[in-house]
Chains A and B, each alone.
Chain A
């Protein structure tokens, strides 16, 4: 039987010990839980960076209610600085026979194609960015908060104001989006995308406890008022420039006007789709 030399054994044990002991003490990260944001709307000239989160969901997705709840928790924390849209698209978005309506639509499917198909659900895209170290723009639930925090940090290069004029009788809606360039935006292709969303839509949803016919869907993507890939802005975003666009839309009867919001965001076009600033405003204040 072969024997090991003592100094070899000691050296090996010593090395093992170094590996073990070196990690006993570490300075922990600082948690700062809770905190709820003000519900006040900030005047546009004081507007900070506002971040867009496009959640992809489906009524047949059992884990998606947890994702939606996580977004609500993030909205509690960040208030108006987080702009949430829930897009029903993909494999899980096929309505049940018992569903009141199909919450998915062709535009939502096109948005998913634009932003990459996810590996699983729940999933969301934060500011349409492909973050370093991620294999896709689509991010799992555990990554949303971190990238939102990262995106909230810089000052905005563009500020957005939305002014709505709405006639409740005719359901005519006129939207004016004003974009204020805070600094020069060095991009050849800058775009504006405008969505209509509706909250508190009660309809069927698969949950871990079974199908819930009274599930409340929030921030449901209803309509893109621009092209899905955005409307290219021909004017230059030079410091101090104010660029406006207006849109007319007749709100369909099945959309509850008091629950509808306009979401507008300025973003790059082409390969890089990064969102520069997002903003939302109620249709009926």
Chain B
């Protein structure tokens, strides 16, 4: 790796002489932790003793003589990104690759980010906000059969911070493109893929040792090898684009976090390994007649926990990526309750309709419906939005969101009712001068009652307001506050046992110059589920100062 680093440097110095291309980027975050036990920002190493934590990624890429080479140097110093309640320190080369195209054959060695179809049977990707980096460390070959068809095959082991998991993952994927004749306007993009995973002996021995403690009725013979296969196609014709994917996984060792083991006639609910085959059906239909944009999505998931080893939990060791069936909400309160994708049992659909009768006015409505396969309600969301633009002077966006959220299932909180929220919101932007603007956001979350607890559900009602001022090309300032107007069952209590209405303020200063952006923020943030790309985890409250710097070159 040092050789690769040295080579990159050397090659970069020779950039002008040889016509190569050198590029890179840097992303860093620094967190200064200020203990606040009232909101729960306490009892982790950073608040108690370390006071500082941060992480960074330096990406370097070089292309010349038909080669693409790259590496990424990663830093984690008392970082809470890997484990939100822990501290992680390490640094080193987190990723490297060498790519070469030899006529129709492409060779890619090192860390590979890729996917098959929509990612249901294989997706290696990076999500830094959740420190997911499940690149495949190995070799990939792709070959162009002709102008429209290609095949790729890969083998490797999944990345685990600066190491790799031991199980071997391998796969093959054919993809093509078929277009109708010159008089027709349809095209197909079919594909087929198979991905296999072989467990290593250590993972299997660990699994067998656990199974040996199970009652006889829960025993099964675990598999070293499991196979996931998929068939998919996109049909495009005129205003219509229709994607369909069907995936099947052979019998595999999986963990059910809601499994039931009966010992001495006493049923115990918790982690339980089981073996089953699984499937995912997914479809997405998009229609784009003039002024309209309509998207319908549906998905059925059964026993599709597809991981590098069955012992991996939460967002670790994921081979699969199951498309989320909810819209990506961006406003603070509308994004507070997120429906994490369920990999063992889920049936869901989503409808998104956009209508823009003029350039000034647009409407958007989105409905998400998620149940498990037994019909248990997991999530409902109705989101509406109206946007109006007045010349280039100002714009006003507003709407309302309705949610029902199965907190018991998504956050493992027993005996809680479906969280019900109604959130009206407004977003007003006014531009002044050549580059100046002021923006205001206001939201209110009205939460349902927890009759059993005699209080509002979860944290109760919230109000949120934000003012953002952009001054020229360089500076942006924001100030916001999230206030627990009517505290709920889980809101913090004072010494008298009374629920407290707490402010969660945030102040940001952003400075942008060319490709470089600095951000300095003072943040108090309530605990919540944070999702990125359909993968979620519970994040504890935060109190402190954040600094980030990003650039590319």
Residue positions of A touching B, CB distance < 8 A:
1-5, 8-9, 12, 15-16, 19-20, 23, 26, 28-35, 62-63, 65-67, 69-70, 72-74, 76-77, 90-91, 97, 109, 113, 116-120, 122, 133, 135-136, 140-150, 206-211
CA distance A83 to B211 in the complex (A): 20
Any A CB within 8 A of the CB of B39? no
A20 in contact with B227 given A113-B45, A122-B270, A146-B205 (CB within 8 Å): yes
Any A CB within 8 A of the CB of B296? no
* Residues on A with beta carbons closer than 8 Å to the beta carbon of B270: 63, 65-67, 69-70, 122, 141, 208
CA distance A90 to B250 in the complex (A): 39
Q: Which A residue sits closest to B164, measured CB to CB?
A: A133
Counting contact residues on chain B (CB < 8 A from A), the size range is 35 or more
Q: Are A1 and B178 in contact (CB under 8 A)?
A: yes
Q: How many whole Å from B333's CB to the nearest CB in chain A?
A: 24
A29 in contact with B222 given A117-B83, A146-B209 (CB within 8 Å): yes
* Residues on A with beta carbons closer than 8 Å to the beta carbon of B413: 62
Q: Are A210 and B225 in contact (CB under 8 A)?
A: no
Any A CB within 8 A of the CB of B361? no
Q: Which B residue sits closest to A146, measured CB to CB?
A: B206
Q: Are B174 and A210 in contact (CB under 8 A)?
A: no
* Residues on B with beta carbons closer than 8 Å to the beta carbon of A118: 83, 85-86
Binds A, one of B109-117, B213-221, B382-390, B393-401: B213-221
CA distance A143 to B219 in the complex (A): 17
A19 in contact with B43 given A117-B86, A119-B314, A120-B314 (CB within 8 Å): no
A1 in contact with B43 given A19-B172, A118-B86, A119-B86 (CB within 8 Å): no
Binds A, one of B20-28, B140-148, B362-370: B140-148
Sort A-B residue pairs by CB-CB distance and give the 7 closest, nearest first: A66-B270, A146-B206, A117-B86, A145-B209, A208-B269, A23-B225, A145-B210
Choice from A26, A97, A133, A142 contacting B271 with Cβ under 8 Å: A142
Chain B binding surface, main DSSP class: mixed
Q: Which A residue sits closest to B205, measured CB to CB?
A: A146
A119 in contact with B83 given A66-B269, A141-B271, A208-B414 (CB within 8 Å): yes
Q: How many whole Å from A23's CB to the nearest CB in chain B?
A: 4
Any A CB within 8 A of the CB of B546? no
* Residues on B with beta carbons closer than 8 Å to the beta carbon of A8: 145-146, 149
A91 in contact with B149 given A146-B207, A146-B210 (CB within 8 Å): no
Show 22 residue pairs from A and B whose CB-CB distance is below 8 angstroms, ordered by the A residue.
A12-B145, A16-B192, A33-B213, A62-B413, A63-B270, A65-B270, A73-B213, A73-B214, A91-B540, A113-B45, A117-B83, A117-B85, A118-B83, A122-B271, A135-B82, A142-B310, A142-B311, A142-B313, A143-B206, A145-B210, A146-B202, A209-B269
Q: Are A33 and B212 in contact (CB under 8 A)?
A: yes
Q: Are A69 and B83 in contact (CB under 8 A)?
A: no
Q: Which A residue sits closest to B88, measured CB to CB?
A: A135
A2 in contact with B146 given A69-B261, A90-B85, A145-B210 (CB within 8 Å): yes
A23 in contact with B212 given A140-B311, A146-B205 (CB within 8 Å): no
CA distance A5 to B206 in the complex (A): 47
CA distance A149 to B85 in the complex (A): 29
Any A CB within 8 A of the CB of B6? no
* Residues on B with beta carbons closer than 8 Å to the beta carbon of A4: 145-146, 149, 176
Q: Are B273 and A142 in contact (CB under 8 A)?
A: yes
Q: How many whole Å from A93's CB to the nearest CB in chain B?
A: 9
Any A CB within 8 A of the CB of B501? no
Q: Are B212 and A133 in contact (CB under 8 A)?
A: no
CA distance A119 to B131 in the complex (A): 13
Q: Which A residue sits closest to B171, measured CB to CB?
A: A19
Q: How many whole Å from B418's CB to the nearest CB in chain A?
A: 17
CA distance A211 to B453 in the complex (A): 13
Q: How many whole Å from B423's CB to the nearest CB in chain A?
A: 28
Q: Are A117 and B540 in contact (CB under 8 A)?
A: no
* Residues on B with beta carbons closer than 8 Å to the beta carbon of A28: 221-223
Q: How many whole Å from B127's CB to the nearest CB in chain A?
A: 16
Q: Which B residue sits closest to A121, measured CB to CB?
A: B412
A133 in contact with B160 given A32-B212, A140-B311 (CB within 8 Å): yes
CA distance A221 to B409 in the complex (A): 31
Choice from A1, A20, A31 contacting B221 with Cβ under 8 Å: A31
* Residues on B with beta carbons closer than 8 Å to the beta carbon of A144: 210
Q: How many whole Å from B246's CB to the nearest CB in chain A?
A: 16
Any A CB within 8 A of the CB of B208? yes
* Residues on B with beta carbons closer than 8 Å to the beta carbon of A207: 269, 414
Interface string of B39-56 (1 = CB under 8 A from A): 010011100100000000
Q: Are A90 and B43 in contact (CB under 8 A)?
A: yes
CA distance A140 to B270 in the complex (A): 12
* Residues on A with beta carbons closer than 8 Å to the beta carbon of B412: 62-63
Instruction: Give the residue among B147, B212, B250, B258 with the most A Cβ atoms within 10 A.
Output: B212
CA distance A139 to B211 in the complex (A): 17
Q: Which A residue sits closest to B263, measured CB to CB?
A: A69
Q: Are A26 and B225 in contact (CB under 8 A)?
A: yes
Q: Which A residue sits closest to B153, measured CB to CB?
A: A15
Q: How many whole Å from A133's CB to the nearest CB in chain B?
A: 6
* Residues on A with beta carbons closer than 8 Å to the beta carbon of B83: 117-119, 136
Q: Are A29 and B271 in contact (CB under 8 A)?
A: no
Q: Are A69 and B268 in contact (CB under 8 A)?
A: yes
CA distance A12 to B85 in the complex (A): 48
Q: How many whole Å from A57's CB to the nearest CB in chain B?
A: 12
Q: Are B148 and A140 in contact (CB under 8 A)?
A: no
- Among B296-317, those with CB < 8 Å from A are 310-311, 313-314
Any A CB within 8 A of the CB of B194? yes
CA distance A72 to B270 in the complex (A): 14
Q: Are A206 and B414 in contact (CB under 8 A)?
A: yes
Q: Which B residue sits closest to A209, measured CB to CB?
A: B414
Q: Are B213 and A77 in contact (CB under 8 A)?
A: yes
Any A CB within 8 A of the CB of B428? no
* Residues on B with beta carbons closer than 8 Å to the beta carbon of A91: 40, 43, 85, 540
Q: Are B414 and A62 in contact (CB under 8 A)?
A: yes
CA distance A33 to B213 in the complex (A): 6
Known: A34-B216, A116-B86. 7 other contacts (CB 8 A): A2-B146, A32-B212, A62-B412, A63-B271, A69-B263, A133-B166, A145-B209
* Residues on A with beta carbons closer than 8 Å to the beta carbon of B165: 133
